[in-house]
């Protein structure tokens, strides 16, 4: 059985197609800071402002689902001070923005490995998810300590355990079963993935889910992400012909 890709809706004004689910690889905070003679921390702080902008833009344009890649499993290779700083930014973002997001009906979900995160941060994540679980507006997914290959390994292990326990037969495993065991279970696959800073790769982000996503790479560094960059990416997406392996008739 195959997972049917979701149809994206058409926005009447401007003729822009609005993706149901947008994934964003927020890249270039360090370069943005360096160009201005600032510290990398300043770049990440400016990156949080861009997070606020993209969330508002997604809501204003009627996007259902927004996934932000905010800390990859590979980012542990950075200096400990920088890792600590990014963790602190996430905490502060939650402390300062949660009420507003909640009042705007945003449902927050955090995907990625929980192992290795300190108890305090885990409590914050659990609290944010529980408090916003009943909301029905934008699904905001924060990929934190996330790596797609580990996610697929974990899903494979969970399925193998069910087979070993006799709860599932190998022939029951199909695309739907695998998708249900991923961190993104229940979410539509991304229609559009935007990466900033001119780098052109997925860097272990939503590898399974991005099978038919349109990839749009923009030259701006993440802290410079604003409405004009967002709308340009939507325009590029609108012009793409999505065939999902079929042909145009
Ligand atoms: C990429 O820039 C950015 C990151 C690895 C961190 C992103 C984090 C935030 C924007 C803040 C926290 C997130 C939330 C959801 C509040 P880089 O450091 O790789 O830049 P460079 O490639 O230019 O060095």
Q: With CA atoms as reference, report the closest residue to 60 among 133, 136, 8, 138.
A: 138
Q: Ligand 1, atom 22: nearest CA belongs to which residue?
A: 28
Sign of CA dihedral 220, 226, 232, 237: positive
**What is d(CA 182, CA 205) in angstroms, rounded to the nearest whole number?**
13
Helix (H, G, I), strand (E, B) or coil at 71: strand
Nearest-atom index, ligand 1, CA of 72: 5
State the pLDDT confidence band at 130, using cuts at 50, 70 and 90.
Answer: very high
**What is d(CA 182, CA 206) in angstroms, rounded to the nearest whole number?**
10
Choice between 152 and 244, residue whose per-residue pLDDT is larger: 152
Q: How far is the CA of 28 from the centre of ligand 1 (A)?
A: 7
Choice between 114 and 6, residue whose per-residue pLDDT is larger: 114
Residue 226 in contact with residue 53, Cβ under 8 Å? yes
pLDDT reading at 13 higher than 70: no
Q: With CA atoms as reference, report the closest residue to 197 among 25, 19, 21.
A: 25
Q: Ligand 1, atom 8: nearest CA belongs to which residue?
A: 70
Q: How far is the CA of 26 from the centre of ligand 1 (A)?
A: 6
Q: Ligand 1, atom 6: nearest CA belongs to which residue?
A: 70
Q: Ligand 1, atom 16: nearest CA belongs to which residue?
A: 90
pLDDT confidence of residue 91? 92
Q: How far is the CA of 194 from the centre of ligand 1 (A)?
A: 14
Q: How far is the CA of 124 from the centre of ligand 1 (A)?
A: 20
pLDDT digits (tens, 9 = 90+) for 14-69: 799 999 999 999 999 999 999 999 999 999 999 999 999 999 999 999 999 999 99
Average pLDDT over residues 179-191: 98
Q: What are phi and psi of 50, to 5 degrees?
A: -70, -30
Q: Ligand 1, atom 1: nearest CA belongs to which residue?
A: 27
Q: With CA atoms as reference, report the closest residue to 59 among 135, 137, 133.
A: 137
Q: How far is the CA of 165 from the centre of ligand 1 (A)?
A: 41
Ligand 1 pocket residues where CB is under 6 Å: 26-31, 44, 47-48, 51, 68, 70, 75, 86, 89-90, 93, 142, 222
Residue 93 in contact with residue 43, Cβ under 8 Å? no
Average pLDDT, the chain: 93
Residue 227 in contact with residue 57, Cβ under 8 Å? yes
Measured at the CA of 128, the angle between CA 46 and CA 77, to 5 degrees, comes to 50
Give the active site residues. Answer: 27, 75
pLDDT confidence of residue 3? 46
Q: Which two tokens stand for residue 189?
A: 């696959």
Q: pLDDT exceeding 70 applies to what percent of the chain?
A: 94
Pocket test for ligand 1, best of 29, 33, 128 (most atoms within 8 A of CB): 29
pTM above 0.85, yes or no: yes
Give CATH for domain 16-147+190-237.
3.40.1180.10
Which residue is it, tokens 């360090």?
A: 30
Average pLDDT over residues 148-177: 98
């Amino acid at each position: 059985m195959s997972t049917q890709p979701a149809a994206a809706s058409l926005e009447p004004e401007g003729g822009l197609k609005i993706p149901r689910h947008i994934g964003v690889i927020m890249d270039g905070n360090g370069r943005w800071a360096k160009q201005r003679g600032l510290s990398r921390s300043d770049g990440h702080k400016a990156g949080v402002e861009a997070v606020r902008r993209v969330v508002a833009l997604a809501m204003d344009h009627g996007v259902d689902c927004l996934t932000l890649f905010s800390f990859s499993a590979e980012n542990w290779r950075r200096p400990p001070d920088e890792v600590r700083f990014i963790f602190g930014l996430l905490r502060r973002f939650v402390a300062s923005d949660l009420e507003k997001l909640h009042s705007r009906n945003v449902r927050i979900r955090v995907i990625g490995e929980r192992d290795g995160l300190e108890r305090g941060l885990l409590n914050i994540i659990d609290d944010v998810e529980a408090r916003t679980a009943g909301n029905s507006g934008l699904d905001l997914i924060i990929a934190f300590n996330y790596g797609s290959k580990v996610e697929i390994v974990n899903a494979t292990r969970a399925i193998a355990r069910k087979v070993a326990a006799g709860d599932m037969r190998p022939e029951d495993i199909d695309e739907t079963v695998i998708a249900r065991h991923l961190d993104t279970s229940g979410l539509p696959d991304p229609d559009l993935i935007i990466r900033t800073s001119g780098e052109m790769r997925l860097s272990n982000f939503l590898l399974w889910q991005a099978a038919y996503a349109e990839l749009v790479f923009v030259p701006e560094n993440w802290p410079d992400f604003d409405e004009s960059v967002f709308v340009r990416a939507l325009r590029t997406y609108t012009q793409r012909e999505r065939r999902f392996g079929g042909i145009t008739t």
